[in-house]
Amino acid sequence: MNFNEILDQLESGKIRAIIREADGSIRANLEVKEAILAAMRAGQNIELAQPTEGLYAGFVDKDTLLPRRFRVEDKVRLVPGGSSVRRGAYLAPGAIIMPPAYVNIGAYVDEGTMVDSHVLVGSCAQIGKRVHLSAGVQIGGVLEPVGLTPVVIEDEAFIGADAVIVEGIRVGARAVIAPGVILSRGVSIYDAVEGKVLERGAAVPPNAVVVPGSRPLRTGWAAEQGLSVHCPVIIKYRDEKSNASLMLEEALRS
């Protein structure tokens, strides 16, 4: 397939930027990544001033990667006010994009998910069903290296305001990421419930409730100065009380 065919299939949800193996593991779909890079190489910068481009007049981008348009029959609510969904991104029926927000190429946003104001869903990021991405959330994109797995947020996760999730981190189903948490491959997650440190780059377990924390630096000059570094901390796993406080409002998704 050429890159246009692959981008069309990404937009329809027929293929994705990840491949799920039978054992539940995830790997990057190299064909998709390579097609996106091919589209970027082939594209020519144009001024989006043609009458058919409407609200996008005055912007400049690759002619192979122009923003998507939606119709009522797509059952996607893209609220006016500065949001954009790039070519090759998939939004399932029931997805809502509040302004301003940006969904980049290769991303997948599943049904009933809320993308709130000032949210970035980066290139090839995978967002599950009924996820809430609160205001200011940054979901990092991954196009290179080609083989690197993108960020994956599984079904019914709740991502609090201004959280940052990058470098291919995977957040398990129904996990809760509190406001301000930063998750990356270079930072270990401390599980205060199980009393252990998760391996760097490990997935956030399903149902985990993760808050911003810190740990002291115990050696050398940094210890003498009483310095500490930030770290994410699992303080509990979801229970009935948590579920009640995070219940999604179906009226917002109709």
Question: In sequence order, what DSSP letters do the residues of 15-35 get, joined into one string?
Answer: S-SEEE-TTS-EEE-HHHHHH
Q: How confident is the model at residue 5 (pLDDT cuts 50, 70, 90)?
A: very high
Mean pLDDT over 16-42 rounds to 95
Q: How confident is the model at residue 73 (pLDDT cuts 50, 70, 90)?
A: very high
The one-letter code for the residue type at 196 is: K
Q: 13 near 110, Cβ under 8 Å?
A: no
Whether the per-residue pLDDT at 95 is higher than 70: the answer is yes
72 vs 247, more confident: 72
Mean pLDDT over 242-253 rounds to 70
Whether the per-residue pLDDT at 79 is higher than 80: the answer is yes
Q: Reduced to 3 DSSP states, what percent helix, strand and coil does the chain have, rounded to the nearest 5?
A: 20, 30, 55
Question: Residues 199, 203, 207, 210: what is their CA dihedral angle, to the nearest 10 degrees?
Answer: 60
Q: How confident is the model at residue 145 (pLDDT cuts 50, 70, 90)?
A: confident
> What's the CA gap between 96 and 98, in Å, rounded?
6
- Structural domains in the chain, sorted by start: 68-241 (2.160.10.10)
pLDDT of residue 136: 98
Q: What percent of the chain has pLDDT over 70?
A: 94
pLDDT of residue 251: 63
> What's the CA gap between 93 and 20, in Å, rounded?
22
Mean pLDDT over 29-39 rounds to 96
pLDDT by residue (tens digit) across 120-143?
Answer: 999 999 999 999 999 999 999 988
pLDDT by residue (tens digit) across 157-204?
Answer: 999 999 999 999 999 999 999 999 999 999 999 999 999 999 999 999
> What's the CA gap between 106 and 64, in Å, rounded?
13
pLDDT by residue (tens digit) across 201-221?
Answer: 999 999 999 999 999 999 999
Mean pLDDT over 43-67 rounds to 78
The one-letter code for the residue type at 186 is: G
Q: DSSP letter at 30?
A: H
Q: What are phi and psi of 169, to 5 degrees?
A: -65, 145
Q: 26 near 20, Cβ under 8 Å?
A: yes
The one-letter code for the residue type at 181 is: V
pLDDT of residue 246: 74
Q: What are phi and psi of 74, to 5 degrees?
A: -75, -20
Mean pLDDT of the chain: 93
> What's the CA gap between 183 and 211, in Å, rounded?
11
- The pTM of the full predicted model, rounded to 2 decimals, is 0.92
